[in-house]
Amino acid sequence: MAIRTPQEYVESLKDDRVVYYLGERVKDVTQHPILRICIDWMAMDYVVENDPRYQDLVTEKNEKGELVPFVFMPQTNAKDLLRLREVVQLWARICFGKPPGAKFVGKDGLNALTVVTPRIDKQFGTNYAEHIEEYRKYLEKTDPTVALGMTDVKGDRSLRPSKQQPHQDYYVRIVDEDSDGIVVRGAKMHISQSPLSNEILVLPCRAMREEDKDYAVAFAVPANAKGITYISSEPEIKEPGNFFDYPLSASIYLDDALIVFDDVFVPNERVFMKKEWPFAGDMAYMFGNFHRLSAETYKAVELELLTGAAALMAEYNGIERAPHIREGLTWLTMYTETVEILGRAACEHCVSEPDSDLVYPDPMYANIAKFFFADNWHQATKYIQDIAGGIVATVPSSKDFFNPETHDMIEKYLGGKDGIPTEHRLRLIKLIKDLTSSYEDVLTLHAEGSLAAQRLSIYTLADFERYKAAAKRAARIKDGTEHPLFSQLPDFPPKI
């Protein structure tokens, strides 16, 4: 099979998967008006794959000459990472800032496993790298959507997986194994698009100690595997199909579901880590490198949209020359462009995995990029809300605008600058409301790990020895330490 069509993807979801939404079991997810929003959005991945204008970018020929998705291939140089970036930005630009979740997170898990499994094999004599390679072939051949199960539900966050918790299943773990495979139990939360995916790829979400070794597990299962239940998140959307009042939330639904694994069997060939606890942290960390960058990549496009909405609103309100508005637009521009350049730099300055032809994004830049966009998001929403005015909170429904009894009043009174149709102004206001929802706030802060997670990475990656050597040299502190960048420099001030 070559790349799939959107229709094939939709059909593939009729597989008796166990999905709950707002208190009810959904028999056929493809017929559900809300879940269908998520499906249609994910299907854009296949629309793009089948669009001749984009095939050179988003697909590659495999050895058999079949078109396969580029994003399932291993990354071996900066050019690959930059192309990946281009793919994600195309996806995002088409879908109003949010790349369809078909393979968006799954590819990052695949990349992390590709880098880390050889490390495990080397130390433990396992053969996970082969498993991954087989799995990759399977993905290339079948072109499925792949969700990524990362975040465990955690229970009491101050306690470790194996200890003291009210029960032992707050992190996904191996509860049984035999010669054919393992049995896993637990739950992963806010797993975007999982109820509408074909494959579920699961990684550990943190470093583990020896006593936690049952929790050091990575694997893949089909989405309809026996024992899996999905409980969908409640979406922002209020009314499917109403793209006037809900331009984003009626177009995009991430369905960040809770996945419960109730003693699910995983065959050996889909197991990528089994109790090799020293590498659990590596996996979580390597996934972070790829995924923080992916997030930053689409965020730069989403910010283009946000900044555009602010600029347009300023214009529609006739305040585009007011100094504090210009300051806001300038700030938003800097924010947008800095996010773009930080992520691009993480690709351009990628790191080579030793004894391997693989690369991964520069971890320092990938983490800074994520931190930077998340840390400044609330300031950005403040600027755009400041520019847009109170009407974002108090705007009437488009139903009132289209009601002939009230249309003329709204047309007359909610207009802005001369020449701008009131309808355009109303549509833009609705867009801004959707862009600055609490959902967006939380997604921006927490997806790909909290601010604290990036802080920890950055602290760990910091080259303090270099920094301290600079300080010691300037302060004339001679304590016997040496640093290659500083130890051979000429004296300063000079003797002349």
Residues 385-424 that bind its own copies (CB under 8 A): 385-386, 388-397, 399-400, 402-403, 405-406, 409-410, 412-418, 421, 424
For residue 455, the minimal CB distance to its own copies (Å) is 5
The nearest distance, CB 208 to its own copies, in angstroms, is: 19
Task: Please give the Cα distance from 27 to 18 (Å, whole number).
Answer: 8
Q: Quick check: 372 and 293 in contact, CB under 8 A?
A: no
Q: Which residues in the 427-446 window bind its own copies by CB under 8 A?
A: 427-428, 430-431, 433, 436-439, 441-443, 445-446
Q: How far is the CB of 495 from its own copies (least distance, A)?
A: 9
Segment interacting with its own copies, rule: CB under 8 A, options 76-84, 281-289, 291-299, 475-483: 475-483
CB-wise, 30 or 127, nearer to its own copies?
A: 30
Query: Of the ranges 3-11, 80-88, 105-113, 173-181, which one interacts with its own copies (CB under 8 A)?
Result: 3-11
Sites for its own copies among residues 208-237 (CB under 8 A):
229, 231-234
Contact pattern for its own copies over residues 318 through 337, marking x by CB under 8 A: xx-xxxx-xx-xx--xx-xx
Tell me whether residue 158 or residue 179 sits nearer to its own copies (CB atom): 158
348 binds its own copies (CB under 8 A): yes
Cα separations (Å) of 383 from 119, 160, 420? Answer: 46, 40, 22
Smallest separation, CB 177 to its own copies (Å)? 22
In the structure encoding, which two tokens stand for residue 451, read together? 């601010």
Comparison of 354 and 496: residue with beta carbon closer to its own copies:
496
351 binds its own copies per the rule CB under 8 A: no
Give the footprint of its own copies on residues 103-162 (CB under 8 A). 151, 153, 155-159
Q: Which of 43, 35, 37, 36 is nearest to 9 (CA)?
A: 43
Smallest gap from residue 395 Cβ to its own copies (A)? 7
Considering the complex, state which of residue 65 and residue 496 has its C-beta at the smaller distance from its own copies.
Answer: 496
Site size for its own copies, by CB under 8 A? Answer: 173
**DSSP collapsed to 3 states, the chain:** CCCCCHHHHHHHCCCCCCEEECCEEECCHHHCCCHHHHHHHHHHHHHHHCCHHHHHHHEEECCCCCEEEHHHCCCCCHHHHHHHHHHHHHHHHHCCCCCCCCCCCHHHHHHHHHHHHHHHHHHHCCCHHHHHHHHHHHHHHHCCCEEEECCECCCCCCCCCCCCCCCCCCCCEEEEECCCEEEEEEEEEEEECHHHCCEEEECCCCCCCHHHHHHCEEEEEECCCCCEEEECCCCCCCCCCCCCCCCCCCCCCCCEEEEEEEEEEEEHHHEEEECCHHHHHHHHHHHHHHHHHHHHHHHHHHHHHHHHHHHHHHHHCCCCCCHHHHHHHHHHHHHHHHHHHHHHHHHHCCEECCCCCCEECCHHHHHHHHHHHHHHHHHHHHHHHHHHCCHHHHCCCHHHHHCHHHHHHHHHHCCCCCCCCHHHHHHHHHHHHHHCCHHHHHHHHHCCCCHHHHHHHHHHHCCHHHHHHHHHHHHCCCCCCCCCCCCCCCCCCCCC
Give the whole-angstrom CA distance, residue 49 versus residue 36.
20
Indicate the residue among 116 and 410 with the shorter CB distance to its own copies: 410
Q: Among 52, 166, 480, 484, which residue interacts with its own copies (rule: CB under 8 A)?
A: 166
* Residue 200 is a binding residue for its own copies (CB under 8 A): no
Of 70-78, 118-126, 184-192, 220-228, the segment contacting its own copies by CB under 8 A is 184-192
Fill in the per-residue mask, 13 to 42: x = in contact with its own copies (CB under 8 A), - = not in contact: -------xxxxxx-----------x--xx-
Site for its own copies in 450-469 (CB under 8 A): 450-452, 455, 458-459, 461-462, 464, 466-469
Q: How far is the CB of 310 from its own copies (least distance, A)?
A: 8
Nearer to its own copies (CB atom), residue 1 or residue 393: 393
Q: Which is nearer to its own copies, 2 or 319 (CB)?
A: 319
Q: Which is nearer to its own copies, 114 or 193 (CB)?
A: 193
Q: Report if residue 344 touches its own copies, rule: CB under 8 A.
A: yes
Q: List the end-to-end C-alpha distance of the chain, in Å, as a whole number.
A: 76
Of 54 and 124, which has the nearer Cβ to its own copies?
Answer: 54
- The nearest distance, CB 122 to its own copies, in angstroms, is 30
Least distance CB 76 / its own copies (angstroms): 21
Asked if 56 touches its own copies (CB under 8 A), the answer is no
Q: Which of residues 243-272 bind its own copies (CB under 8 A)?
A: 243-245, 247-248, 251, 256-258, 260, 262
Judge contact between 430 and 401, C-beta under 8 A: no
Q: Is there binding between residue 364 and its own copies (CB under 8 A)?
A: yes
In this structure, what token pair is assigned to residue 86?
């281009």
Return the residue of 108, 143, 169, 276 that touches its own copies, per CB under 8 A.
169
Closest CA to 310 of 436, 397, 437: 436
Is 487 one of the binding residues for its own copies (CB under 8 A)?
A: no
Q: Give the residue from 105, 183, 184 showing the smallest Cα distance to 150.
A: 105
Q: Which of residues 292-321 bind its own copies (CB under 8 A)?
A: 301, 304-309, 311-312, 315, 317-319, 321
